[in-house]
């Protein structure tokens, strides 16, 4: 059981189209930024080895998703088993900020997590490198939102200039690892129930 | 006559009835138009297109260039080529959005072609072999990196090839050092459509080496096309190619080997029956443009038309690597191409509110605009989203889910070894099954309520995660998924043969991925052996297996530079079972999956009843628009199917065994009877219904 996921931490990045999900992922995983990212269709993931609190090592699987709402219907399959969900808005886009809550709800519905109250979310306000005059979401509003979502960690980031990206993902990794371990523990119980069902099916379907 | 599509006899007149010798001398070289005057617009030089990047002062009189550049570089910088480029500013008009491309870079073409005729002496040879040989000589390292075929490895191991490699390396054609000046450098960095040659997965050097050979292939193919056109009393003049020969087995073969790039737009338009749709809807597009103008004046347009904002965000994220879509820093106005793209996408969202705007349509429209004018691009987008990819872009993306279900069925049927990565069979390893259950997380409670049959077909309504990757293949018809020349070859076949071709390509890619999987599996078995303590090669848990597949699928197709690696070596290989997959089969399969998903709707993960009704309405309205076309297309496909079956049978015996070797796996490909398998399934379902 200890090698159940070989400490693979599954992290899902959600948020409106164009808030910078792909850029954040690439900045974190490859420490690169490009103006030339194409719109994401479906989902991609990258993996990165992470050191958490300098003594634990894990592989983080970062999932980048399409931002358009209708793509949510495709995403459900990989929401499942997530260890942390990163919610991203664009500090220059009010709507992307207003939609954060619905992204979270959407995630909780589909991910089918055992304890939604404690499932780790991290909120990122991206594009803080932009000119102040263009920023429309205040830090205060962001802090209030983070508090209302259960005091989830909040970071103001810039994938472009790398501000806070590593810091944020350190926190994400930590939360994910915590969740992963909790999950594994509580999983044992569910698991025992499930075995029987599946074995029944086996005897029926296995004709060899 | 033609024994096998992967073994084309070249230039040998016996197949086409023309006794022309297979020379590639200048006389026969099709001179591509400086611009595709496909649209009856003023010509402009392709390399300039709508972007002034390339118009800056030129490399013309650089004395050192001769010594610094060899072959390819030279061809690009041929002096006679220069005036075109310099002349370009005056040729860039407001309608540059209609422009594209000097497909072969004119002078370079004739120059290199004549070179080729001397050095390659193209006698009647097996084309595939010729191609591979040439490529392995030219690009041994590249091929190694691609590792698509061990046969090329084998050739590389050849001492002769090694010699060639050395020669090649001495004549390194692409200097890495900074170029003489910006313009020449820029001109060289883009392909004939204006895409940057270099990508994350392919270096410019790899591109140039490959292209040098592939464009010779293109020239040969175009000569063939010209002969075919002339034989059919059709114009083969780039300026006026509008009509094409009636559909036939031969034409299909020609299309499969690539439509000449200058003709592509018109050929797609012709084969997709676009003109008929346009004729039935004359004035619609201009009206939509008027409506757009009106909407622009509305104060609350963003709220009333939420698609506008998403379209806006995607305009510059469509082809950021294409000069037609790029805004230069000194430009104040956005490129014409961006404006066209906006108009087409907004017009479409108004025309079909049930779809509105769906991300990935930007790639479809963007590519169409490189080959067709705006109005035609619009109607082709209509055709793509209704006839070829019904429901795929709808609000609930149900069409995607259906097609992914179909694809999964195909994989299960045709590529059982890949299927093992997606849904492992239980019989080999019970542990896998337990793991699978564990990893499906808390969905296990659903198992209680599901019937036996539901479980069996569960993957149709609870699609495996890997479909997230493959879904994008369908939504964007492989634009951005594969290198551009490969995508274009796919589009050629898509419009000629129908949407089943997308499934064939997908299966082809999946088949190719098997080699990659084996490589990483080998690696994995070393690194994870102790962890698992299990000697079974599939000892990793299923989720990891699928993620491994996912990871490979999301990257390796982007390295698939040479279209013929997938076309001739996989998709049209006669011994590949899915070669027989046809439109009728896919249509039936789509129906089956649709029914299955409907039936299991309460159990499916993501049903939103409101949006689901949309899809039905929408499909029917779309179908009414294009029903005529569908009919013709359907008929044609049936004809093709019939012929293709005959063709297969006759050609199979000529094919030496083991031609598919070289991809790192060996699998006996016996005749899988897909038809009966499906029928059986349908019967089962019906039986259970009753």
The span from the CA of B675 to the CA of B213, in Å, is: 40
Q: Do B438 and A8 touch (CB under 8 A)?
A: no
B132 and B67 housed in the same domain: yes
User: Which value, to the nearest 10 degrees, does the dihedral of the CA atoms of residues B566, B569, B572, B574 take?
Assistant: -150
Alpha-carbon radius of gyration of chain A: 18
Q: What is the full DSSP assignment across chain A?
A: -TTSSTTEEEEEEEESTTSSHHHHHHHHHH----TTPPPP-SEEEEEEEEEETTTEEEEEEEEEE--SGGGHHHHHHHHTT-SEEEEEEETT-HHHHHTHHHHHHHHHHHHT-S-TTT--EEEEEE-TTS-GGG--S-HHHHHHHHHHTTS--EEE-BTTTTBTHHHHHHHHHHHHHHHHHHHHHHHHHHHHHHHHHHHHHHHHH---
Contacts of A98 in chain B (CB under 8 A): none
Dump pLDDT digits (tens) for A116-173.
989 999 999 999 999 999 999 999 999 999 999 999 999 999 999 999 999 999 999 9
B360 and B260 housed in the same domain: no
Last residue of a domain, one of B388, B420, B454: B388
Q: Is residue A32 within 8 angstroms of chain B, CB to CB?
A: no
What pLDDT band is residue B303 in, cutting at 50, 70 and 90? confident
Dump pLDDT digits (tens) for B467-500.
999 999 999 999 999 999 999 999 999 999 999 9
Q: CB A102: neighbour CB atoms within 10 A?
A: 13
At B140 the pLDDT is: 32
Q: Which residue of A has its CA nearest to B317?
A: A38
Region A91-103: what's the mean pLDDT? 96
Q: Which residue of B has its CA nearest to A69?
A: B395
Q: Is the pLDDT of residue B233 over 80?
A: yes
| Residue B121 lies inside a defined structural domain of this protein | yes
The CA distances from residue B97 to B100, B292, B619, in Å, are 8, 18, 31
Q: What is the full DSSP assignment across A125-142?
A: EE-TTS-GGG--S-HHHH
Mean pLDDT of chain B: 67
Dump pLDDT digits (tens) for A32-67.
999 889 999 989 999 999 998 888 899 999 999 999
B71 and B111 housed in the same domain: yes
- B480: closest CA of chain A, how far (Å): 9
B126 and B192 housed in the same domain: yes
Contact between B386 and B348 under an 8 Å Cβ cutoff? The reply is no
Q: How many CA atoms lie within 13 A of A192 on its CB side?
A: 4
Contact between B287 and B281 under an 8 Å Cβ cutoff? The reply is no
Last residue of a domain, one of B250, B271, B292: B271
Q: Do B426 and A110 touch (CB under 8 A)?
A: no
At A177 the pLDDT is: 93
Contacts of A194 in chain B (CB under 8 A): 437-438, 444, 447
At B530 the pLDDT is: 39
| Residue B10 lies inside a defined structural domain of this protein | no
Q: Which residue of B has its CA nearest to A46?
A: B551
Q: Do A75 and B362 touch (CB under 8 A)?
A: no
| Residue B57 lies inside a defined structural domain of this protein | yes
B258 and B309 housed in the same domain: no
| Residue B318 lies inside a defined structural domain of this protein | yes
| Residue B12 lies inside a defined structural domain of this protein | no
3-state secondary structure at position B246: coil
B327 and B422 housed in the same domain: no
Q: Do B447 and A198 touch (CB under 8 A)?
A: yes
B427 and B372 housed in the same domain: no
Dump pLDDT digits (tens) for B572-608.
888 888 888 889 889 999 999 998 888 877 655 443 4
- Between CA B457 and CA B463, with CA B460 as vertex, the angle to 5 degrees is 125
B384 and B404 housed in the same domain: no
Contact between B90 and B33 under an 8 Å Cβ cutoff? The reply is no
At A188 the pLDDT is: 56
Which domains are assigned to chain A?
8-205 (3.40.50.300)
B538 and B633 housed in the same domain: yes
ipTM field: 0.87
Q: Do A18 and B358 touch (CB under 8 A)?
A: no
Query: Residue B134 is part of which domain span?
Result: 26-271
At A79 the pLDDT is: 85
Q: Give the residue with greater pLDDT, B32 vs A140.
A: A140
Last residue of a domain, one of B271, B304, B336: B271
User: Domain containing B332 — which CATH number?
Assistant: 1.10.8.270
Buried b (16+ CB within 10 A) or exposed e, B398-409: bbbbbbbbbbbb
3-state secondary structure at position B322: strand
Q: What percent of chain B has pLDDT over 70?
A: 53
Q: Is residue A89 within 8 angstroms of chain B, CB to CB?
A: no
Closest CA to B384 of B277, B286, B485: B277
Q: How far apart are the first and last CA of chain B?
A: 49
| Residue B61 lies inside a defined structural domain of this protein | yes
Q: Is the pLDDT of residue B280 over 80?
A: yes
B38 and B183 housed in the same domain: yes
Dump pLDDT digits (tens) for B206-229.
999 999 999 999 999 999 999 999
Q: Do A39 and B317 touch (CB under 8 A)?
A: yes
B350 and B452 housed in the same domain: no
How many domains, in total, are found in chain B?
3
Q: Is residue A35 within 8 angstroms of chain B, CB to CB?
A: yes
At A62 the pLDDT is: 96
**Tokens 């790029």 -> residue:** B326
Structure tokens at A202: 């086996």
At B670 the pLDDT is: 44
Region B231-242: what's the mean pLDDT? 88
Contacts of A202 in chain B (CB under 8 A): 426, 430, 433
The span from the CA of B49 to the CA of B370, in Å, is: 10
B431 and B361 housed in the same domain: no
Q: Is residue A109 within 8 angstroms of chain B, CB to CB?
A: no
Q: How many CA atoms lie within 13 A of B447 on its CB side?
A: 22
The span from the CA of B628 to the CA of B633, in Å, is: 9
Q: Do B606 and A110 touch (CB under 8 A)?
A: yes
């Amino acid at each position: 059981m200890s090698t159940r996921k070989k400490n693979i931490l599954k992290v899902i990045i959600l948020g409106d189209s164009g808030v910078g999900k792909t850029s954040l992922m690439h900045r974190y995983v490859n420490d690169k930024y490009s103006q030339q990212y194409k719109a994401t269709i479906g989902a991609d993931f990258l993996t990165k080895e992470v050191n958490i609190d300098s003594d634990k090592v894990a592989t983080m699987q970062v999932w980048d998703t399409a931002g358009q709402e209708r793509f949510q219907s495709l995403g459900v399959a990989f929401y499942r088993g997530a260890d942390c969900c990163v919610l991203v808005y664009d500090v220059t886009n009010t709507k992307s900020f207003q939609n954060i809550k619905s992204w979270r709800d959407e995630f909780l519905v589909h991910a089918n997590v055992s304890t939604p109250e404690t499932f780790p979310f991290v909120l990122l306000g991206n594009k803080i490198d932009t000119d102040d005059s263009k920023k429309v979401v205040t830090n205060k509003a962001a802090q209030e939102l983070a508090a209302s979502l259960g005091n989830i960690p909040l970071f103001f980031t810039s994938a472009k200039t790398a501000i806070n990206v590593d810091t944020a993902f350190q926190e994400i990794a930590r939360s994910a690892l915590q969740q992963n371990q909790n999950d594994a523990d509580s999983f044992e119980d569910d698991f025992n129930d499930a075995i029987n069902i599946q074995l029944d099916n086996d005897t029926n379907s296995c004709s060899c | 006559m033609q024994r096998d599509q992967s073994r084309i006899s070249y230039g040998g007149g016996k197949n086409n009835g023309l006794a022309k010798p297979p020379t590639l001398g200048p006389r026969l070289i099709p001179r591509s138009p400086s611009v595709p005057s496909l649209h009856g617009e003023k010509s402009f030089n392709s390399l300039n297109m709508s972007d002034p990047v390339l118009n800056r002062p030129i490399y013309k009189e650089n004395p050192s260039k001769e010594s610094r550049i060899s072959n390819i570089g030279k061809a690009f910088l041929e002096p006679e080529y220069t005036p075109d480029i310099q002349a370009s500013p005056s040729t860039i008009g407001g309608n540059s959005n209609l422009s594209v491309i000097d497909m072969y870079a004119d002078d370079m073409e004739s120059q290199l072609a004549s070179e080729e005729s001397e050095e390659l002496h193209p006698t009647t040879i097996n084309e595939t072999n010729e191609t591979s040989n040439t490529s392995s000589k030219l690009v041994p390292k590249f091929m190694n990196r691609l590792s698509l075929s061990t046969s090329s490895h084998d050739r590389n191991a050849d001492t002769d090839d090694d010699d060639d490699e050395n020669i090649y390396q001495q004549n390194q054609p692409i200097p890495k050092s900074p170029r003489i000046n910006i313009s020449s450098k820029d001109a060289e960095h883009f392909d004939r459509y204006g895409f940057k040659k270099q990508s994350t997965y392919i270096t410019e050097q790899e591109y140039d080496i490959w292209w040098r050979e592939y464009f010779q292939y293109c020239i040969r193919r175009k000569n063939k096309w010209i002969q075919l056109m002339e034989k059919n009393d059709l114009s083969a003049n780039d300026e006026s190619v509008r009509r094409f020969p009636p559909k036939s087995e031969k034409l299909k073969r020609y299309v499969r080997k690539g439509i000449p790039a200058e003709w592509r737009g018109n050929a797609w338009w012709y084969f997709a029956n676009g003109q008929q749709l346009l004729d039935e809807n004359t004035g619609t597009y201009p009206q939509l443009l008027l409506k757009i103008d009106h909407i622009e004046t509305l104060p609350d347009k963003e709220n009333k038309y939420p698609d506008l904002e998403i379209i806006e965000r995607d305009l510059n994220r469509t082809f950021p690597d294409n000069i037609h879509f790029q805004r230069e820093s000194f430009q104040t106005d956005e490129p014409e191409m961006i404006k066209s793209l906006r108009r087409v996408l907004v017009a479409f969202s108004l025309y079909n509110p049930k779809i509105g705007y769906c991300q990935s349509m930007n790639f479809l429209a963007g590519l169409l605009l490189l080959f067709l004018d705006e109005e035609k691009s619009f109607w082709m987008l209509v055709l793509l989203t209704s006839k070829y990819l019904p429901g795929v872009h709808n609000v609930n993306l149900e069409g995607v889910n259906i097609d992914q279900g179909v694809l999964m069925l195909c994989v299960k049927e045709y590529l059982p070894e890949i299927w093992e990565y997606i849904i492992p069979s239980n019989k080999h390893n019970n542990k896998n099954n337990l793991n699978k259950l564990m990893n499906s997380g808390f969905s296990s409670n659903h198992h209680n309520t599901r019937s036996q049959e539901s479980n069996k077909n569960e993957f149709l309504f609870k699609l495996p995660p890997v479909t997230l990757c493959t879904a994008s293949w369908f939504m964007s018809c492989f634009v951005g998924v594969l290198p551009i020349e490969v995508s274009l070859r796919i589009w050629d076949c898509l419009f000629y043969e129908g949407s089943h071709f997308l499934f064939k390509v997908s299966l082809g890619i999946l088949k190719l991925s098997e080699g990659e999987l084996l490589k990483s599996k080998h690696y994995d078995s070393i690194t994870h052996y102790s962890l698992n303590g299990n000697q079974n090669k599939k000892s990793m848990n299923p989720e990891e297996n699928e993620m491994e597949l996912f990871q490979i699928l999301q990257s390796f197709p982007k390295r698939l530079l040479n279209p013929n690696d997938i076309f001739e070596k996989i998709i049209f290989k006669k011994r590949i079972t899915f070669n027989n997959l046809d439109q009728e089969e896919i249509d039936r399969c789509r129906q089956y999956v649709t029914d299955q998903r409907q039936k299991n709707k309460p159990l499916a993960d993501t049903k939103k009843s409101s949006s689901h009704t949309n899809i039905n309405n929408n499909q029917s309205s779309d179908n009414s628009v294009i029903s005529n076309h569908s009919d013709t297309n359907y008929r044609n496909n049936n004809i093709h199917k019939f012929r293709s079956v005959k063709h297969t049978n006759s050609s199979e015996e000529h094919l030496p065994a083991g031609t598919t070797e070289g991809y790192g796996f060996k699998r006996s490909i016996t005749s899988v009877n897909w038809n009966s398998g499906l029928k059986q399934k349908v019967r089962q379902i019906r039986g259970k219904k009753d």
